[in-house]
Structure 1
Amino acid sequence: MAFMIERYVGPGSARLGAAMTLHPEPESVPRARRWFRRFITPHEPACSVDDCVLMILELVTNAIRYGRSDEPWLVRVEWFREGSPLRVEVHNPGFPANVRMRHPDANDAHGRGLLLVDSIADSWHSGPSHFGGTVVSFVVADAWPAWPT
């Protein structure tokens, strides 16, 4: 079962977003897709929701596959509108140093997730999460028109 947390702050503060926690299991990947579509669509982004969903699915899959902890753990997915950009973060208890872009051979079945994110997003980042473990994030620069000031 997934646990959802919504976080909304109005346009006056130029921040809008939502967060969700997921169990590290394969069923969480389609849950993340449905959640993101449900909460982003009413805000009418100008960017491709399909591209964003694809990147989220890659990052959630990686978080589930590579997250490690001796204790029970969760994957946290957050999205934020900060003016015109969209930022998505995926947190897991893995080690930040283990995040790396691979260059798989044509016959390799895995290893293309970060290459895909790198080719679609305007930027991406990995490092220590403020929750502990790792965060991998991406930014779509012009996801919305800028809010009026």
Structure 2
Amino acid sequence: MFFLIDRYACEESPRLGMMALTPTPESVPRARRWFRRFIDPYEPRCSLDDCVLLVSELVTNAILYGSTEYAWLVRVEWFRNGTDLRIEVHNPGIPTRVHLRRPDPGDAHGRGLLLVDSIAASWHYGPSRFGGTVVSFVMADAWPV
């Protein structure tokens, strides 16, 4: 496993932190633990439990749907934009594969983006600046004005 963590952003950058994870199932609980540990000093007002749940869902999706013939990492970054917290999850998958599903009650899978859509103020997907796909979400009013 390989982590890159930038705990303190530079003055000119709104990025608060970043981690890079191997695309293995063990990285999902690691992402939850590390995200909580490194966002906590910034004291966001939004629910950290909600953020951790959404990070977990998006990292799981990145591992399941990211693919390339080369070794790759799942990248998670979090930013402060004014009073909002934006979290991005990057993988080498194809952006057109991202879609919101409406699973039947008996379906065991397919609720990750539905949770993101229900909990976050907004979410987005598209091409990642690292190549592949980025899925991001915003938690509004995470900090006072």
TM-score range, shorter chain: over 0.9
TM-score, length of structure 1 as denominator length: 0.93
Cα distance per residue 1:97-146 (max 9 Å; x no partner): 00000111111100000000000000000000010000000001100112
Percent sequence identity over aligned pairs = 68
SS at match of 1:102: coil
CA distance in 1, matches of 2:4, 2:13: 22
**C-alpha contact (below 8 Å) 2:23/2:74 kept by paired residues:** yes
CA distance in 1, matches of 2:3, 2:12: 26
Letter paired with 1:101: L
Aligned to 1:101: 100
CA distance in 1, matches of 2:84, 2:138: 7
Letter paired with 1:77: V
Aligned to 2:57: 58
State how 1:16-27 maps to structure 2 within 5 Å: 16-27=15-26
**C-alpha contact (below 8 Å) 1:14/1:82 kept by paired residues:** no
Deviation at 1:7, TM superposition (A): 5.2
TM-score, length of structure 2 as denominator length: 0.95
Letter paired with 2:85: L
Aligned to 1:83: 82
Cα distance per residue 1:66-104 (max 9 Å; x no partner): 001011111000001122100000000000000000111
Unaligned runs of 5+ in 2: none
Cα distance per residue 1:28-80 (max 9 Å; x no partner): 00110111111111111100000000000000000000001011111000001
**C-alpha contact (below 8 Å) 1:14/1:83 kept by paired residues:** no
**C-alpha contact (below 8 Å) 2:18/2:76 kept by paired residues:** yes
Aligned to 2:3: 3
Unaligned runs of 5+ in 1: none
In 2 relative to 1, CA 14–141 (structure 1 residues): closer, same or farther, beyond 3 Å?
farther
Aligned residues: 145
CA distance in 1, matches of 2:76, 2:46: 19
Computed over aligned residues only, the root mean square deviation of the Cα atoms, in angstroms, reads 1.3
Aligned to 2:119: 120
Deviation at 1:3, TM superposition (A): 1.3
In 2 relative to 1, CA 71–37 (structure 1 residues): closer, same or farther, beyond 3 Å?
same
CA distance in 2, matches of 1:23, 1:138: 21
